[in-house]
Copies of this chain bind each other. A is one copy, B any other.
Amino acid sequence: MKTVCFGEIMLRLSPPGYGRIAEAKSFDAYYGGAEANVAVVLAQMGIKSVYVTRLPENELGNAAAGELRRWGVDTRHIVRGGERIGVYFYERGAGSRQPKVIYDRAGSAFAMSQPEDYDWDKILDGAGWLHFSGITPALGENLIKVCKSAISAAKDRGITVSCDVNYRRALWGADKAGEVMAGILPYADVCVINEEHAGLLFGIKEERPDDGIYLDASARVAQALSQQFGCGKVAVTIRRTLSADKSRFAAVLYDKASGSASCSKIYDLEIIERIGGGDAFCAGLIYALESCMPNDYAVQFAAAACAIKHSILGDFGAMPVAEIRALADGAGRSER
């Protein structure tokens, strides 16, 4: 199914290995962005994946588009113009040292883009799915409008809409985010959200006795979100950071139609790469739902994609469906 992802793509600059920004003599260059990462994983799964963004007319813009294309993403609907590509500097943490990020994305070609830059009739022609994340409306009022026109065009065509809430403190406050996303989620057929953000943005949280993972409680959060916003499917992801290199991860998927929730295994992850795990989860979920996998397996598949992504350097995380299935089916040994 032709699947359209929409959002920013940035140049990421990271010191090699365990190096630090403060003393870097070189930076490894990656291109990535929440929705772009989803588009790449989908394309590598064999989905006809289209990315929509706005990039400047220079070599960095060319490179960003080229990297997407390399992984099979259709870049013909990328708009060119604007002054600069958004940049972020990311330093991997280790042990007791936390990761660091410096965003330098203000004024990017995408952040400056306007509703009239995107011809949704043309873009969505023949599409079956539209995906974006909460980072896009966080970039400004112009992008809230763009999101709304995209959703509206999708709804007109009966296209399934998925939204990863993906709240980013660095971009907007929880109040503003909660208000804007509450206006958007009612149009989303599928909603993905981090358990903690459900509390922060919408006040939806469940008590847990300690810092463990309680899938029942998370399932109730998913159900509450589905009831509040009417989304047909709500996936809640749960992450506990154990150190800069280790975390624990699981997810639940609530299905409004059946009123039931499905849970993934709980993964203990060694983190080679922290970025893009949530995006791989979204891609896994979209693939699973487009492939009509049953809910129980869909959440396992999405969680396995997320687990594997933690071992792949870079924002993108192309991986074969067969490897995801193998892990979801239990061949993987890192499950708890």
Cβ contacts under 8 Å, A1 to chain B: none
Q: Which residues of B contact A333 (CB under 8 A)?
A: 241-243
When distances are taken between beta carbons in the complex, the residues of chain B under 8 Å from A313 are 17-19
Query: Which residues of A from 196 to 246 have beta carbons under 8 Å from B?
Result: 241-245
Q: A62 — which chain B residues lie within 8 A by C-beta?
A: 22
Contact size class for A? Answer: 35 or more
A293 close to B (CB within 8 Å): no
Is A104 part of the contact surface with B, judged by Cβ < 8 Å? yes
Are B95's CB and A59's CB within 8 A?
Answer: no
Count of chain copies: 6
Q: How far is the CB of A11 from chain B (nearest CB, A)?
A: 9
Given A24-B29, A89-B60: A334 touches B243 (CB 8 Å cut-off): yes
> For A20, what are the chain B residues with a Cβ–Cβ distance below 8 Å?
59, 312
Tell whether A94 is near chain B: CB-to-CB under 8 Å.
yes
Question: Contacts A18-B313, A84-B104, A242-B333 given: A270-B70 contact, CB under 8 Å?
Answer: no
Asked if A311 is at the interface (CB within 8 A of a chain B CB), the reply is: yes
**Contact partner, A269, options B87, B96, B107, B323, Cβ 8 Å:** B96
Given known A-B contacts A26-B16, A272-B18, A311-B97, A71 and B60 have beta carbons under 8 A apart: no
Report the minimum CB–CB distance from A329 to chain B (whole Å): 13
Q: Does residue A63 face the partner (Cβ distance < 8 Å to B)?
A: yes
B24, B102, B311: the one contacting A94 at CB < 8 Å is B311
A23 located at the interface, meaning its Cβ lies under 8 Å from any Cβ of chain B in the complex: yes
* A 247-306 contacts with B by CB, 8 A: 267, 269-272, 304
The reply to whether the CB of A327 lies closer than 8 angstroms to some CB of chain B is yes
Tell whether, in the assembled complex, residue A102 and residue B323 are in contact, meaning their CB atoms are under 8 Å apart: no
